[in-house]
Amino acid sequence: MELQLVDISKPENINFILGHSHFIKTVEDIYEAIIQSVPGVKFGIAFCEASQDRLVRWTGNDDEMIALAQKNALNIGAGHTFIVFLQDAFPINVLNAIKMVPEVCRIFCATANPVQVVLGQSDKGKAILGVVDGQTPLGVETEKDITVRKEFLRKIGYKQ
């Protein structure tokens, strides 16, 4: 088996979700889950089909997000994986809806951070072994950091 690292290619402020599923209807079901969760969200989805035609299946409602999803899915190339790029929404807005899609098996990450996908390649294909999401912590938060975190969450409306 050969190990590979693939960087997710995207603009700095764009969030994405990387996951694993098991069926060709993934793109349509994730589309429905997202569109029902956040009015006005812009997104693109791509899914690496693992058998038959073995195409990158895709959908979405924004050309830029669709192109990012297609490009990154093709670069990863691991069967039955999907990637969703979001604009005007955060993963937290759609993550539970995506997790509830019956064919979704797991979520590897949901972030806007720089990400490297750790792949294993055999003679049968590629598998996602994990992800490197962001950078290593520099220390433990102080009381001041806790106050800043709490204020930020309330400012953006995620806590009251």
Share of the chain above pLDDT 70, in %: 100
* Token pair belonging to 45: 């989805």
Residue 36 lies in a domain: yes
Task: Express each pLDDT in 38-96 by its tens digit.
Answer: 989 999 999 999 999 999 999 999 999 999 999 999 999 999 999 999 998 999 999 99
pLDDT of residue 90: 92
What gap in Å lies between CA 7 and CA 143, rounded to an integer? 35
pLDDT of residue 158: 84
The amino acid sitting at 122 is: S
Residue 160 lies in a domain: no
* Token pair belonging to 89: 């929404």
Where in the sequence is the domain holding 62, given as residue range(s)?
A: 2-155
- Residue 6 near residue 87, CB atoms below 8 Å: no
Place of tokens 């590629």: 126
Residue 112 lies in a domain: yes
For the chain, what is the domain count? Answer: 1
pLDDT of residue 37: 95
CATH number of the domain to which 88 belongs: 3.40.1520.10
For residue 151, the SS3 value is helix
Residue 95 lies in a domain: yes
Residue 151 lies in a domain: yes
Q: Please name which of 98, 89, 77 lies closest in space to residue 31, comparing C-alpha atoms.
A: 98
pLDDT of residue 156: 85
